[in-house]
Amino acid sequence: MSNIADNLRKNSELVDCLKVEGVKEVHFKEISEETGKKINTDMKTMLFSDVLSLELGEHEEFIREIAEKAKQQENLEKDILKIESSWKEYQMTIIKKERDNKTVFLLSGTDDIRGKLEEDQYSVSTMATDRGLLDNPELRVKLKKIEEALNDVSETIEQWSLVQTKYLNLEIIFKNDEIRTQLKNETKEFLKLDKEYTKIAENAYTNKMILGICNKNTFNSLENIQRGLEACQRNLSKYLDDKKTKCPRF
């Protein structure tokens, strides 16, 4: 009787293990493959006679490992979801200003964005080494997705900051009548880049949601704008250097 009672108690404990949050169909499949018996994934409807027929006690260590792994993966999934949700709700700070009779939209709050990125990218990199991730393709896909999204945000914000600084410097210069007259092609190019940049910044001012704005398309557009602004800067510098040569007092 003692052995029967111990067996019943052990089986009952193992069933309780499989009732913990996080045990999913994929885990029951692993147990079925180990025991060679099909398991009803709805533990609430499982009869005690079903429990006994599974002979779970013969696979106690394996089942407890599966239950622990499932719990670990559940916590991991919650952590991933927490990071993902926070970024889905994160809004960019774009300031609308009047500058020399023109409306400009300026990216702000970049220190806060960088701080949050640093914290969450570290968390993601730590999760990537978690054992619970190794044999869960679904979790790996979710983590990879948020990792790529954070990388897109990081790269876009850095590129945006570079473009904004150069854009604001050149905007003042290309308002000069002499520069507009002497550098007509460069002025035309700058005005085109001005329009493209303003469109991106105004869209961010209107829509605000960072994941919808800071993506590969925006990064590529800003990168092209940066190249154009650098070309304008080079031609402007050449013009000013030539003018200094001809007129040292300039």
Residue-by-residue DSSP string for 59-78? GHHHHHHHHHHHHHHHHHHH
Mean pLDDT of 115-128: 95
Last residue of a domain, one of 44, 75, 106: 75
Mean pLDDT of 224-243: 90
Contact call for residues 221 and 155 (beta carbons, < 8 A): no
pLDDT above 60 (res 128): yes
Read off the pLDDT of residues 51-78 as tens digits, 9 standing for 90 and up: 566 666 666 777 778 777 888 888 888 9
Specify the pTM. Answer: 0.80
Domain membership flag for residue 175: yes
Q: What is the pLDDT of residue 250?
A: 47
Domain membership flag for residue 65: yes
CATH number of the domain that residue 129 is part of: 1.20.140.100
Same domain, 135 and 201: yes
- Please give the distance of CA 56 from its chain centroid, rounded to a whole number: 42
The encoded tokens of residue 62 equal: 């394996």
Q: What is the pLDDT of residue 10?
A: 60
| Cα separation, 213 vs 197, whole angstroms | 13
The encoded tokens of residue 192 equal: 């085109």
- Which residues make beta-bridge pairs with 104? 97
The encoded tokens of residue 104 equal: 């400009």
Domain that holds residue 29: 2-75
Give all strands (DSSP E) within 78-154, no chain letters.
Answer: 93-98, 103-108
Segment among 123-127, 134-138, 181-185 with least mean pLDDT: 134-138
Same domain, 45 and 156: no
Contact call for residues 72 and 112 (beta carbons, < 8 A): no
Same domain, 113 and 64: no
Indicate the average pLDDT of the chain. 84
Same domain, 134 and 216: yes
Q: What is the pLDDT of residue 89?
A: 95
Amino acid at 216: K
Segment among 19-33, 106-120, 142-156, 234-248 with least mean pLDDT: 19-33
Domain membership flag for residue 137: yes
